[in-house]
Amino acid sequence: MADAPANITPKALADELGIDPKRLRGHLRKNHTRAAEAKNTTWLIPHDVADDVREHFEALKAAKASLETPKA
């Protein structure tokens, strides 16, 4: 059985997505709330949450691109 992908930091994921880490953390706070005990600790994003975040921001990017595409 293969090991699950490693956790990722918000900065690394934000860099991967080309967005500001503050924007990513804001999204995580709204949509993937951590336990209160995790406050003020290093944030490591599990692979399933990272995949959800990737889908979210890729969908936003695609929607923005479709709005910017000139119509013939």
Question: CA dist 68 to 24, 30, 57, 59, 63, Å?
Answer: 23, 27, 17, 14, 9
pLDDT digits (tens, 9 = 90+) for 55-66: 999 999 998 888
pLDDT at 14 over 90: yes
Cβ neighbors of 56 (< 8 A, separation 6 or more) are 27, 31
Can you give the residue ranges of every domain in the chain? 10-34+41-66
Give me 68's structure tokens. 């910017």
Q: What is the pTM of this model?
A: 0.79
